[in-house]
Structure 1
Amino acid sequence: MSGFADISLLQLLLVAGVALFAAVLGGLAGYGTGALMPLVLVPLIGAGPVVPIIAISSIFTNLSRFVAYLRYADRRRALIVIAAAAVTTALGAYGYTRLTNAGAAVVIGAMLISSVPLRRLLKRHDVRIGDTGLGLGAVGYGVVVGGTSGSGVILLSLLMAVGLEGAAVIATDAVISLATSVIKISVFGLAGVVNAQVLAFALLIGVVALPGAFLARAFVERMPVHIHTAILDVAVIAGGLVMISSGLRQLS
């Protein structure tokens, strides 16, 4: 694992730039930060601290969305997901703390790669579920969100499958993501994986990402969302392959 102390100012600027870019993409496509940030963080600091860093930084991005869209949130559906996913989110986070750096790289890379075909598959089949299906799906989602990065597409797909659209999806996703982030941070804190350096990186990413949603409005008129999504898919798959390859080399 690369040491935090070895990070240069140029590398910090790179992290900040990617955080802003990911936040803008998130404002356009509905997800992005959790998928893109590992691509720049893992080579700099290793895979181990990545999920804790993104969990803490997501408090900033989700809090801003929560405040902006609160009146659109479907609170009943949000409570269903939070209640169903709470325990499995904690279990997933705990499982992540038991991984080696190489194991974490493989897990994150596999999740990033699988998120692309999963999103396309769910969108193509226009899956519809009720509250029971939402709760059952949330149980599995908890395991994934607790121990990986880039799993936001699963939650978005679940919310759209119960009939939520537009601002209601963004708002409800923000409420749920805030809750799961708090659970993950609590587990990571108890496990001792949240230190001053992790907090510093998380604060940098979170603060830089705050204006991303507003900048997204300026870009949305200049480039179709599907092009942004396609760019994100290519970057996520390529980065996931690099991470898996790196992790397997460390394991061998």
Structure 2
Amino acid sequence: MPILTDILSAFANISLTQLAVVTGVTLFASVIGGVAGYGTGALMPLVLVPMVGAEPVVPIIAISALFTNTGRVAAFFRHIDGRRSAIVIAAAAFTCVLGAYAYTRLSGAGAALVIGSMLILSVPLRRLAHRRAVKLHDGGLVIGAAGYGLVVGGTTGSGAILLSLLMAAGLEGAAVIATDAAVTIAIGIVKVAVFGVTGAVTAQVIVFGLLIGAVAFPGGFIAKALLERLPIRVHTAMLDAVIILGGVVMIIAALR
């Protein structure tokens, strides 16, 4: 099969150094993401963009997120809020299609600008929502989810938006992480479908997506073990700093 041959060829082109870096950062990011509720999609572009360029990054993260969040759902299944999951998925699916399609029309520099800007904005947006203690009823959650769908369709690192929406809707602790993971899987399927139809899912995208997903899958179980022991405030502050720095680097590279 030609596609299988292309996938094997793409995998063979990954150097041992690239494999080691991607594996190490993926495992770290998946554990951080499982504890904090976001972080995997924000950290991985910092490694992927220098390797593959900016354009394939969002499709790669979309594929890998299916595996990453499947691990979290399995680890936190009993904490999923089914009603709020359904509300967010229904409201975000259509706008996600629009965002994903718009992303496929960008150039490499344009993609880097979008990703870098989203990474930088995700930090103050999450902090602002947390500081103001915004509370959302179902109607507000629908509106917020529609906006989230548009953003998540064309960027990576937007998990902080969904996290803030779920917290504002009244979810706490493990329920936030579990519901976030369930929603992300459903929206991820929509994104991958759009990228597949538009030809953005190449052999290289599939290889990196599967590699990251396979390594990240156990992260949810490790995060579950750490959730009650790790000081979230400290690692969240460090994560914010890395995300902002990475976004700045991407924007500078795109402008050059």
Normalising by structure 2, report the TM-score: 0.92
Candidates 212, 223, 228, aligned match of 2:219: 212
Is 1:235 paired with 2:248?
Answer: no
Letter in 2 for 1:38: P
Q: Distance in 2 between matches of 1:32 and 1:59?
A: 15
1:59 corresponds to which residue? 66
Q: Secondary structure at the match of 2:144?
A: helix
Q: Secondary structure at the match of 1:242?
A: helix
- Deviation of 1:210 after TM superposition, in Å, equals 1.4
Report the alpha carbon displacement of residue 195 of structure 1 after superposing the two structures with TM: 1.5
Match of 2:108 in 1: 101
Shift of 1:218: 5.4
Match of 1:34 in 2: 41
1:29-66 Cα distance to aligned partner (Å, 9 max, x none): 11111000000000111000000000000101111222
Once the two structures are superposed, residues 192-245 of structure 1 have per-residue CA deviations (whole angstroms, 9 ceiling, x without a partner) of 011111111011101111121233355557641111111111110110000001
| C-alpha deviation, 1:69, in angstroms | 2.4
| Equivalent in the alignment of 2:120 | 113
Q: 1:27 to 1:137 in 2, by over 3 A?
A: same
Question: What secondary structure sits across from 2:247 in the alignment?
Answer: helix
Return 5+ residue gaps in structure 1 as ranges. none
User: Distance in 2 between the 1:89 and 1:230 partners?
Assistant: 29
Structural RMSD (CA): 1.6
Q: Counterpart of 1:102 in structure 2: which amino acid? A: A
Spell out, residue by residue over 1:60-96, the C-alpha distance to the aligned partner (whole angstroms, 9 max, x if none): 1111222232332111111111111111000000000
2:170 to 157, 163, 169: 163
Contact 2:69 2:217 in 1 (8 A): no
> Which amino acid in the other structure matches residue 126 of structure 2?
R
Q: State whether structure 2 residue 140 is matched by structure 1 residue 125.
A: no
Measure, in 2, the Cα distance between the counterparts of 1:35 and 1:5: 26
Counterpart of 2:254 in structure 1 is: 247
**Residue aligning to 2:3:** none
Per-residue CA deviation, residues 6-41 of structure 1 (Å, 9 max, x unaligned), is 642101210111100101111221111100000000
Query: What are the equivalent positions in structure 2 for 1:81-96 lying under 5 Å apart?
Result: 81-96=88-103
Q: How many residues align?
A: 247
Distance 1:164 1:220, change over 3 A: closer
Which letter maps to 1:205? I
Structure 2 gaps of 5+ residues are: 1-9
* Stretch of structure 1 that moved more, 56-65 or 140-149: 56-65
Superposed displacement of residue 4, structure 1? 8.3
Identity of aligned residues (%): 65
Letter in 1 for 2:134: V
TM-score, structure 1 as length reference:
0.93
Indicate if the aligned counterparts of 1:64 and 1:210 stay in contact, CA closer than 8 A. yes
